[in-house]
Structure 1
């Protein structure tokens, strides 16, 4: 099970629940809460640890949350806060921007900037609910001045990469007991990659941005595409270039400034996924050659050599190391 912290006002007297929620928000987010529902304020929150990233879920009556410049000076964690409303509606008001959001709109804002958030129940719904992420700003591999233009902007969680991100958030929150604590950092990496890919997709259409930002955004979109197609043995630099309407030579140039060539990175990603499968208790009896083939290594000897170069031992030795005799 993922490392989790849970909080609920159900554990205190009905008359004290709003004050209890205010105290909780003040300690965890350093913000002021107001609500017309002063009696029986039934609210709950879960926070799941995904390495440096935190995935949160929340359910509460209609309320407003204000983070002022004074409160920011008291506590500034330097985070991007991503929200995905699931029931109810939400609005954000900042010094120079305001917008309203419906369910399955993704919205990003910066905890270092003052804002007022209002969350209101919709007709026929008793509570507002949602999920989202707290992500350290330094983890997003895009220039902050480019991301600034996307703060408090409505991003769709119903199509494309936004839908993948929304599905990821809701699925991890729903099935958190099916993961192990050491899965947390890996899931955090997936969350950051999906969020980065979504922002890169939006930025790529902005012609006012400098060429370097567009280049970085394209690389992120290519990486997301590769992750989605790692199982496909037909995925090659040629097919990747065609899918992104660029030449193969330009694809190679894009990765000249990266740590690895595109081909080496794909191979490394496939090896890493094979390594994870070898460590999975549920796949302990699956033949090694079947796991290798799943990640497009069709020749056992080639897989063994590549695995040994990457991890210093053979796949069989690694599986024995990952599953010691009881």
Structure 2
């Protein structure tokens, strides 16, 4: 297995240097230490046939993959993230998953996502090319960002298998790697289809979900644009408003409501992050597409039950506790 570490990197700017190193092996993203102190990380990478196994150890920090990090038309890759040790919060596709040891969540690396560790954390990533994964999960989009809990069906067995395979000590013969990888992906797909209750999302066809994801990607890429709306999306994607509503309907949420919710969630996330405490609430809100402080305050209170200023105070106090 290949080993990468922050050891030997300069103390000043270590998180940025680590991000550059990490991008050469995994994906481009930004690392922000939560405590503002010395930052330490370690990454062990191995492979199992078409599957990449990566074991990431982190101090308390946040990891963000933004739209600016994503290269269009690059190979679509999916990560099954196993919280092996510690706990974390993962935001992806408009969903929030609180992970403790033994939980899984699926991530599409072609879409923005945010990951925050609550303490020292170990995460094992099972990285699979999209074309390979679709042989096991025809519509992985419906599962992205959804928590697969450790107590659900086969999850505990799969977690133990992933831990062992990522340790580098499994001793699997090279001739058997493809077979073991297929078995692992079959187990994971069974766990997801059995462990996450069917919904309208799950009953959508693969074609409908692909169209839905195209619109979702566009929204996430342009969430900071104050002009973003169903009307401008319809115009820019060159589709009719009626068609756009039909494409978005499998998600069960109106497009305008989705845009507002995602903007509020991103604002709340940054307000709770000590790394952003030097920025005003208005700066944060306007950076996420709001153009009225009054509208932001009102809609934030409706969603979170308190004013933005109070929410920030409570969350930062909780973070320091």
Give the TM-score normalised by the residue count of structure 1: 0.55
Match in the other structure for 1:59? 57
Q: Which of 125, 131, 134 is 1:132 aligned to?
A: 125
Shift of 1:130: 1.9
Aligned counterparts of 1:188 and 1:63: Cα–Cα separation in 2: 31
* 1:69 to 1:11, Cα distance in 2 relative to 1, 3 A: same
Report if aligned partners of 1:17, 1:39 keep a CA contact under 8 Å in 2: no
Shift of 1:20: 3.0
Aligned counterparts of 1:18 and 1:87: Cα–Cα separation in 2: 21
Structure 1 stretch displaced more, 172-181 or 77-86: 172-181
Shift of 1:25: 2.3
Q: Deviations over 1:111-142 (max 9, x none)?
A: 11111111120xxxxx2112120011222225
Match in the other structure for 1:5? 2
Shift of 1:59: 0.8
* 1:77 to 1:197, Cα distance in 2 relative to 1, 3 A: same
Shift of 1:159: 4.2
Shift of 1:212: 8.6
Report if aligned partners of 1:25, 1:33 keep a CA contact under 8 Å in 2: no
Query: Aligned-residue CA RMSD in angstroms?
Result: 2.6
**Gaps (5+ residues) in structure 1?**
122-126, 214-326
Q: Which of 187, 207, 210 is 1:194 aligned to?
A: 187
Aligned counterparts of 2:13 and 2:198: Cα–Cα separation in 1: 49
Match in the other structure for 2:15? 18
* 1:30 to 1:196, Cα distance in 2 relative to 1, 3 A: same
Report if aligned partners of 2:81, 2:125 keep a CA contact under 8 Å in 1: yes
* 1:40 to 1:53, Cα distance in 2 relative to 1, 3 A: same
Report if aligned partners of 1:43, 1:59 keep a CA contact under 8 Å in 2: yes
Q: Which of 158, 164, 167 is 1:171 aligned to?
A: 164
* 1:183 to 1:15, Cα distance in 2 relative to 1, 3 A: farther
**Gaps (5+ residues) in structure 2?**
207-321
* 1:177 to 1:148, Cα distance in 2 relative to 1, 3 A: closer
Stretches (4+) displaced over 6 A: none
Aligned counterparts of 2:40 and 2:80: Cα–Cα separation in 1: 23
Shift of 1:175: 5.0
**Structure 2 matches for 1:57-136, cutoff 5 A?**
57-73=55-71, 76-94=74-92, 96-121=94-119, 127-136=120-129
Higher alpha-carbon Rg: 1
Report if aligned partners of 2:92, 2:144 keep a CA contact under 8 Å in 1: no
Aligned counterparts of 1:77 and 1:83: Cα–Cα separation in 2: 19
Aligned counterparts of 1:142 and 1:56: Cα–Cα separation in 2: 21
Match in the other structure for 2:150? 157
- The secondary structure found in structure 2 opposite 1:41 is coil
* 1:101 to 1:116, Cα distance in 2 relative to 1, 3 A: same
* 1:156 to 1:135, Cα distance in 2 relative to 1, 3 A: same
- The secondary structure found in structure 1 opposite 2:21 is helix
Aligned counterparts of 1:149 and 1:78: Cα–Cα separation in 2: 15
Q: Deviations over 1:73-130 (max 9, x none)?
A: 3684311111111222211223522232222111011111111111120xxxxx2112
Q: Deviations over 1:41-64 (max 9, x none)?
A: 221111111111111111110111
Aligned counterparts of 2:75 and 2:117: Cα–Cα separation in 1: 23
Give the TM-score normalised by the residue count of structure 2: 0.56
Q: Deviations over 1:193-213 (max 9, x none)?
A: 11111122136x416444999
Match in the other structure for 1:216? none
Shift of 1:5: 1.7
Report if aligned partners of 1:18, 1:38 keep a CA contact under 8 Å in 2: no
Report if aligned partners of 1:161, 1:194 keep a CA contact under 8 Å in 2: yes
Shift of 1:181: 3.3
